[in-house]
Chains A and B, each alone.
Chain A
Amino acid sequence: MTASEHTLAPQRNRTLFFSLLALVIPGSSQFLMGRRWRGALLFLSIPVLGYIVYWAQSYQKVGLVTIGSWTTSWLWAPLALFWIWNVFDARRLGNGQESNSFLGLLLVLVILYVVAWNVTQIKPERLVTRFNDAKSVATNLVNPDVITITINGEDRICAWQCMSEYISDTLAGRPTQGPIRASKTLLDIIGRVEQVKAPAWEVKLGLAQSGGQVTGFVAGSLIETIAMGLMATIFSTILAIPVSFLAAHNIMSRVPGGNVVYYITRTLLNIVRAVDPVVWGLLIIVWVGLGSFAGVIALTIHSLAALAKLFSEEIEHIDPGPVEAVTASGANLIQTLRYAVVPQITPPFLAYTLLRWDINMRAATVVGFVAGGGIGFFVVETIRMGGYQLYATALWSVAVVIILVDAISSTWRARILADQPSEPEKRRSTWVKIRTAFLVLLGVLAFIYCWNISEISIKDLFAPAPTLGSILHDFVTIDLGPKTLGPVVQQMLITIFQAMLATTLGAIIALPFSFLAARNLTGRSKLSVWIFYLTRGLFNVLRSIEALLYAAIFVFWVGIGPFAGMMALAVTTFGLIGKLFSEAIEEIDPGPIEAVTATGASPLQVINYAILPQIVPPFTSYLIYQWDINVRMATIIGFAGGGGIGLMLNTFFGLLQYHKAGTVVLFIVVVVALMDFASAKLRQVLV
């Protein structure tokens, strides 16, 4: 007997044992062989997939097949194969071989996508059969209601064609069809100058009589939206700074009882962050009533939680070196904070605030859907009236504002993070001082103006509606009876699948475009430079508008339901993920490409060995991240007819069934927080 035969027999027993164990308890063998994550994932995925297949079969009638008198779903077959694959996986690991996840992953994806396709009620034929509806919406969208023309005493929308006629008539000296002016929609959005009641400060300064009329500017819904986003960012930043210290582990672990505070704060922040500002809006209107103020509060709450988390992570990653050095020089606590801590955290805090400003502006455009106020409320009204040209005006103006905000925020952010401010060294000229003073004054005036038009009222905050107590009580009395729970779980699953399909669809379409929008792949020719700017522009326009605002288009095209919501989410996804993908492509290191080319590899081999390994991990990571975002967005897409759990939540609030609404919110919190956690963990493993 040779030495190798000695080791072979126990080896064979070991492999058999692990195979059998995996057959009985999926994942257990992998776990025992040290592949903890793989084992845990397998162990969890079998029952989860089992439930999904069961649910799809009995509630959604997916993939039904009849064998004799026995009706079942064919989806059980890939699940069974997955189980068997898990046994083979254990066997390979037991033999010391590296296992291939491809087949297992494929089976899981088959199950998930088949279920998703069915429960999202995808009806691709509608995209074609109702194409004429889509065409009419599209025509309306590119002809927004900006100019009104009066022909024979009748007001009409004057779009591109009418405008070009008007201009050519004027240039040729011909009489025009009628006088033109800015449309009512445009004035509603931007604002108008008219007679208003004299504001208190003008009366006090003696410029106007008490109760008299003065000429004033009445802000339109877009200005209101900008004010809401700005106020929410300022409030949430101020509030997030103290909270972030409570959520920083390195600070709290030095305080007695601090760990408890740390965990409570972190948990609360995660819960608050999981609820979309639009859902917060539903709760807040119960408190302060409909209006911009409710929107500001809703945005502030969500933004506070998100910022506090980012801030606290920044505090946790502070470099202890300077703290040590300043302490060693004999400085006291306050001095140490001022000279060693504050300089380290100020730039990232500012950068995050600017990022948040961008996000808050986007959210402010939709929070009005439920809270009233701002452009969101305007959109709801125009859709209700079927005024798609009016709706188009709103969409385009949102796109312009958000693209501007995005550009300002990102250049400013880049500048902050690039050069650390070194104020004491810099000699300040009088001109700089005057400019700074002027900007500060301008900022203060803007703040006061925004405060006024977003109808902020501290009084309302402390004098809530008398019914608030009973409603809140009703809300936290979460109804977990089967009659509520069943439908909630159903809608939650549909929402998750909706987000998954939207991510996939958006990403598949974005993929080829992202290569066109990568600067390092752009050639020198004029044409390719034009293509670069066009694709980048397309990404920027599409991602500047929230999915909720797109939903109306698809509701008209394919009808109310999860399919419309999925399509709306996919459009935003296309813009977001296209930008992320093209940036990932721009970060490709040219070194490996050079090296693999030098070995004599063909172009295809170069792509496979030098380019794909560099972009697949970031692409996968962005996909997971986008799915995470889309689940959160999908929870509210129902507010605009996009189906899923948002529709249900809206209904419960509308029917004043707050105990059921509480259940829905609880589920949203749990699912979004779980997705957030899982996506962060997965992305950590990937990159």
Chain B
Amino acid sequence: MLRVENLTKVYPNGTQALKNVSFEVADGEFLAVIGLSGSGKSTLLRCINRLIEPTSGKIYWDDTDVTAAKGPEIRKIRRQIGMVFQQFNLVKRASVYTNVMSGRLGYVDTFPSLLHVFSAQDRARALANLDQVGLSEKIHVRVDSLSGGQQQRVGIARALMQEPKLMLADEPVASLDPVLAHSILKYLEQLNKERGITVLCSLHFLDLVHRYATRAIALKDGELVFKGLPQEIDDAQFKSIYGQEAERVSII
């Protein structure tokens, strides 16, 4: 269970990215985070695994205070929380294998990992996770020769190496063709349903939220403006989240 209490983030340049945001995510949920670009979705997700330091507020993950954790402690928390990114964030010049293996770094000793030495178990795990996303035959290929959709699947396989209980997905399909968006979200849905991984996913398109999320929250200018079921977002709600001039578009 993830609990966020009064989370606030002010950047050094004065931008207030999050204002007093509080919500809870129960285990096994698929929570969508919606809102315009710049509404604070990315900041929120990055505060949860402390890639960004919150200014004030608390985050509890299974009753551990994430905001108070330091050094090795925060790394122990991070390894339970997988993350996939809009720009995939893979090392393009390295192989699929090395990229996937980097997801295991929180579990292994530093020294062997510097020499790229991994246990047979971890290597088998990498193969299994690549199999899960249908890329096992690309294991020794360099990432820059893969398509965007394939790169995002490598990103998912990397996150799975952490055996996460929570998965943060920051606009995982915004850089992909609409057709590929479904294939990526289906993988996340599968992980959510089959492995019981809690998913926190920021999304742009409302119809994707309807299709995949079990619950949704919406941010506007850093404030939480909606909390509820996806089907509860009616036209009035929609206009208040996205502004009066927004219109619904469909990509299905």
Contact = CB atoms under 8 A, between A and B. Distances in A.
Interface of A: 98, 589, 591-592, 594-602, 604-605, 608-610, 613-614, 617, 687
B113 A613 contact: no
Interface size of B as a range: 35 or more
Contact of A605 (B91, B105, B158): B105
Interface in B41-93: 49, 51, 75-83, 85, 87-93
Contacts of B90: 591-592, 595
Nearest to A602: B110
A27 B82 CA distance: 45
B91 A98 contact: no
A411 B159 CA distance: 43
Given A594-B51, A599-B162, A608 B78 contact: no
Given A591-B88, A608-B114, A617-B93, A600 B162 contact: yes
21 contacts: A589-B89, A589-B92, A591-B90, A592-B89, A592-B90, A594-B51, A595-B90, A595-B102, A596-B105, A599-B83, A599-B103, A599-B105, A600-B76, A600-B77, A601-B105, A605-B105, A605-B110, A609-B102, A609-B105, A614-B93, A617-B93
A608 B113 CA distance: 9
B75 A602 contact: yes
B150 interface: no
A604 B75 CA distance: 13
B113 A599 contact: no
Contacts of B141: none
B93 A600 contact: no
B64 to A, nearest CB: 14
A563 to B, nearest CB: 36
B103 to A, nearest CB: 5
A588 to B, nearest CB: 10
B148 interface: no
Contacts, number: 86
Given A599-B162, A602-B105, A610 B78 contact: no
Nearest to B107: A600
Contacts of B82: 598-599
A600 B89 contact: no
B147 to A, nearest CB: 17
Interface of B: 49, 51, 75-83, 85, 87-94, 98, 102-107, 110, 113-114, 140, 155, 158-159, 161-162, 168
Given A600-B75, A600-B107, 19 more contacts: A98-B140, A592-B91, A594-B89, A595-B89, A595-B102, A598-B49, A598-B78, A598-B83, A598-B168, A599-B78, A599-B82, A600-B79, A604-B110, A605-B114, A609-B91, A613-B98, A614-B91, A614-B93, A617-B93
A595 B93 contact: no
Contact of A596 (B77, B88, B102, B107): B102
Given A599-B106, A599-B158, A604 B114 contact: yes
Contacts of B91: 592, 609-610, 613-614
Contacts of A592: 89-91
A91 B110 CA distance: 32
Contacts of B114: 604-605, 608
Given A608-B114, A610-B91, A613-B98, A600 B85 contact: no
A591 B87 contact: yes
Nearest to A592: B91
A609 B90 CA distance: 10
A374 to B, nearest CB: 44
Nearest to B95: A613
B43 to A, nearest CB: 13
Nearest to A616: B93
A459 B248 CA distance: 79
A589 B51 CA distance: 16
Closest 8 CB pairs of A and B: A600-B106, A600-B79, A591-B89, A600-B78, A601-B105, A595-B89, A600-B75, A609-B102
A336 to B, nearest CB: 36
A627 to B, nearest CB: 21
A345 to B, nearest CB: 29
A443 B161 CA distance: 65
B106 A601 contact: yes
Contacts of A601: 75, 102, 105-106
Contacts of B94: 613
Nearest to A605: B105
Given A592-B90, A610-B91, A617-B93, A599 B85 contact: no
A687 B92 CA distance: 11
Contacts of B155: 595
A596 B79 CA distance: 10
A613 B106 contact: no
Interface centre among B85, B89, B103 (most CB of A within 10 A): B89
B105 A595 contact: no
A599 B51 CA distance: 11
Nearest to A618: B93
Given A594-B85, A595-B158, A597-B78, A610 B106 contact: no
Nearest to A590: B89
A598 B81 contact: yes
A390 to B, nearest CB: 50
A599 B161 contact: yes
